[in-house]
Amino acid sequence: MAIESVKEHFRQFGREQDIQEFEASSATVQEAADTIGVIPARIAKTISFRGEGELAVLIVAAGDAKIDNKKFRAAFHFKPRMLTAEEVLEQTGHAVGGVCPFGLAHPLDVYMDESLKRFDTVFPACGSSNSAIELTLPELERFAGSKGWLDVCKGWQEEEQDNVEGSA
């Protein structure tokens, strides 16, 4: 079971007890936000793409962000192509709805998107469709073995700008 590999991953940091398991589904950003009681943007979703070689590339982004194809291509020098559900499971060891950058089946390149930097803490999944953990950004980066921060998403800045203008 994928959540067990995530618990094992967090055991090395003494944080396995911080994984929350819910009665309700947290498989989508909205379901996770509703279950946890936070805005959808604070859900740290992990998006899986075909890499240049055999292994996938994972992008962890805010729940309200969408991949910007041009930014992705500029950062990676290849076209973003998402994995199928079967490929996600094969590459990460996690089924869609519980994909996270922890306890992976293969050592994959993980990157954090700038869209997350608006928050002190975020909630990534933990390998199942009803789990999450609250992490600070430095914790997320460390526990995921992140290769660094990128700006490959869109949509979240426009919402942030709308909020600023709406509060004036």
Q: What is the pTM of this model?
A: 0.91
What percent of the chain is predicted at pLDDT more than 90? 89
Among the listed residues 131, 130, 133, the one whose alpha carbon sits nearest the alpha carbon of residue 122: 133
* Res. 146 pLDDT band, cuts 50 70 90: very high
**Mean pLDDT throughout 142-161?**
87
The predicted-structure confidence for 77-129, as pLDDT tens digits, reads as follows: 999 999 999 999 999 999 999 999 999 999 999 999 999 999 999 999 999 99
